[in-house]
Amino acid sequence: MPLKIVDADIKDLKKSRTRGRVRSPETIALIEAIDSLSSGKAKAIELAAGQDPAKIRARLAYAAKVAGKKLKIVVEKDRVLFARGPGRPRKRG
């Protein structure tokens, strides 16, 4: 039986389950923020008391990988800044 291949919406792929895990609302929000970044613009995540900057940076890096984008990420004292990185976007695969 041959495979039937049809077009699909990329948004459905980004929101779908991966390896049995459901993406958290925070990760989905990060992916949407990364997708909305334009060249020359930056965004920041303001850290609340008790939040670990390294964990937030790791979550942001994971969201960038899922979104297929390269980011420049900088950790400051009370926030994590990010902007589109140089080069071409990652290949989705």
Cβ atoms 80, 44 nearer than 8 A: yes
- pLDDT number for residue 92: 61
- pLDDT number for residue 28: 86
- Mean residue pLDDT of the chain comes to 82
The whole model's pTM is what? 0.70
Sign for the pseudo-dihedral over CA of 57, 38, 17, 91: negative
Which of the four pLDDT bands, split at 50, 70 and 90, describes residue 90? low
Cβ atoms 14, 67 nearer than 8 A: yes
**Is 19 or 1 the better-scoring residue by pLDDT?**
19
| Integer Cα distance of 42 and 62 in angstroms | 18
